[in-house]
Structure 1
Amino acid sequence: MIISVIVAMDEERGIGKAGTLPWRLSDDLKRFRELTMGHHLIVGRKTYDSIGRPLPGRHIIVVTRNKSYKPDNVVTVHSLQEALSLAEDAGESEVFIGGGAEIYKEALPLADRMYVTRVEADAQADTFFPELDPSDWMVKQIGEHPADDRNQYPFSVWVMERRG
């Protein structure tokens, strides 16, 4: 099973502000939906709360320390390893790690692939993606997208594979 991190971050590695995404990028949300559709998506509790609902066509697994946290129509587990095991046992070919910061930090050493959206802005975020060692990753694909009426900022999309 391929473990893939999917993240949008600004120029300072910012991923969130006050519990929400600090930008509106409709085309990136469409890309997120297309990539994750039909797959297991692992998120932390705070990230799930910011989404506010199950995402159609995805098998959502929420990682939480709170044993009584049980939102409707999603699976809750209490460790990343438990979430990964559930996805693998279900025959998943590629599982997606969708944040937040704590889940990303724990998942990065295990990740085989990353789908990264680099937002060309400093969103004054209060939540950040962990630092990467560039020598661990090989950029496989890059695409550019300008700002327009559907996308607040210009952004680039990268697909990165772990070296070795």
Structure 2
Amino acid sequence: MTLIASVARNGVIGRDGDLAWRDRDDLQRVKRLTLGRTLVMGRRTFDSIGKPLPGRRTVVVTRRTDWAPAGVVIAGSISEALAAAGDGEVIGFGGGEIYDQLLDSADCLEITEIEAELDGDAVFPRIDPARWTETERIRWDGYSWVTYRRARG
């Protein structure tokens, strides 16, 4: 399982039900990394997107039993979501609560590290360097694409 997020220096990933930061190249990277895979996300993240993303299977975690948009699989918990996702590659897609619950199950983190502090109300969990090893960093103007793998040992 891979978690994908754009994370500000202060950990912020979202504000008022939307992304805290947007960049065209970063969104294209996310598309490349997620096409053909299953996305697991929370209801508020899905609501901010507004529809299932083409070329990806979408599993949404929600406690709302009256919520059932077309084209998505609904799960009442993370364990139900992972069971519904099946055996293929799973992408944790947000928001903050979902990342918190999936971090211990993930093998890889694909993080856009934003070189600024942003205002927001959703945060990514702290990446513990004792548990995660940086394996790649591509620097851009104002941000970096960073891949982390679970540390062995």
TM-score (norm 1): 0.89
Q: Is the contact between residue 6 and residue 21 of structure 2 (CA under 8 Å) also seen in structure 1?
A: no
Distance in 1 separating the partners of 2:129 and 2:120: 22
Q: 2:131 aligns with which of 133, 136, 147?
A: 136
Distance in 1 separating the partners of 2:145 and 2:48: 23
Deviation of 1:24 (Å): 2.1
Deviation of 1:132 (Å): 2.4
Q: Is the contact between residue 4 and residue 111 of structure 2 (CA under 8 Å) also seen in structure 1?
A: yes
Helix, strand or coil at the partner of 2:27: helix
Partner of 1:151: none
Deviation of 1:26 (Å): 0.5
Partner of 1:84: 82
Deviation of 1:130 (Å): 1.4
> What is the identity percentage for the equivalent residue pairs of Structure 1 and Structure 2?
39
Aligned length: 152
AA paired with 2:61? Answer: V
Helix, strand or coil at the partner of 1:6: strand
Instruction: Please tell me whether residue 26 in structure 1 is matched to residue 24 in structure 2.
Output: yes
Distance in 2 separating the partners of 1:131 and 1:122: 15
Partner of 2:113: 118
Q: Is the contact between residue 113 and residue 145 of structure 2 (CA under 8 Å) also seen in structure 1?
A: yes
Distance in 2 separating the partners of 1:96 and 1:35: 9
Q: Is the contact between residue 40 and residue 60 of structure 2 (CA under 8 Å) also seen in structure 1?
A: yes
Partner of 1:58: 56
Q: 1:156 aligns with which of 133, 144, 153?
A: 144
Partner of 2:4: 6
State the superposition RMSD in angstroms. 1.0
Structure 1 portions without partners, runs of 5+ = 147-153
After the TM superposition, list the runs of 4 or more consecutive aligned residues in structure 1 that deviate by more than 6 angstroms. none
Structure 2 portions without partners, runs of 5+ = none
